[in-house]
Amino acid sequence: MGFFILAWFGYHAAVEFTAAGQKSLNKVMNQYRFRWMEQLVVRENRIVDTTIMASLMNGTAFFASTSLIAIGGVLALFRSTESVLPIFADLPFGAPPTRLALELKVIGLAVIFVYAFFKFAWSYRLFNYMAILVGAVPVLKESNREEAMIVARQAAAMNVVAGKHFNRGQRAFFFSLAYLGWFISAYLFIAATAGVLFVMWRRQFISDARDAALGVHHG
C-alpha cells in the first residue's frame, strides 16, 4: 500500500508540478486549448465549437456515471464479504484473507471510486462554466480586440482546469485496476501498480499520441 500511494502521488507531482511534466501529453494539449479559443474569436458561426464542448461534457458525464456504477458494485461486494471470502481463500497466491482485511481492501477501493466521481463531476461542472465563458466571447473586431482576447483566454484557462480534473479522475480509474491486485496478493499488487505506472508514464512522454500532438511524424 505504501508503494501504491507513493506511485500515485509521485506520478501526480511529476506530471503536474515538475519541469519534466511540462513536456507531457497533457501539457501539450493544454496549448491547443488556448489555440482553440484564439481561433474561436474570429468565427461568427460557432457550431463547431459547441459540438466540441458537447463532446467533452458527454465524455465527462459518461465517466462520472461509470464511477457511480463502480461505487454500487463495491458496496455490493462489501455486503457479500462472507460469500467472497471462500473464493479468495482458494486462490493459489498469498495467504487467505481475514474478513477484516477484505473489508478494509473493499473500503479502499470504494474511496478510489468516490474520489474519481468527485473529480469527474467537478470537471463536468467546469466544462459547463467554460461553455458560459465561450458564450461571452465576442466576435473579434478592431474595436474590441483586447476584450475578446481576454475573455477567450479566460475560457481557455477554464478549459485547462476542467481537463486537469478529468485527467485526475481517469488516473484514479487506472490505479484502481492496479489496486485489484491486492485482493489476490501483495506482490501482484506491487507488480500491477508498477505496470500501470509505466503505461501511464509511457503514454504521457513517449507515445505516438504525444508525437502527433507535437507534429512529429514517423515513417
Grid coordinates belonging to 48? 463547431
Burial class (CB in 10 A: 0-12, 13-18, 19+), 58: exposed
Helices 47-79 and 99-136: crossing angle, nearest 10°?
170
pLDDT for the residue numbered 115: 97
pTM of the model: 0.90
pLDDT for the residue numbered 82: 76
Going residue by residue through the chain, which has 219 residues, state the pLDDT in tens, using 9 for 90 and above: 999 999 999 999 999 998 888 899 999 999 999 999 999 999 888 899 999 999 999 999 999 999 999 999 999 888 887 777 776 666 666 666 777 888 888 999 999 999 999 999 999 999 999 999 999 999 888 888 889 999 999 999 999 999 999 999 999 999 999 999 888 888 999 999 999 999 999 999 999 999 999 988 665
Rounded distance, CA 119 to CA 168, Å?
Answer: 7
C-alpha torsion 21→23→24→26, nearest 10: 100
Q: Specify whether the CB–CB gap between 40 and 46 falls below 8 A.
A: yes
pLDDT for the residue numbered 207: 93
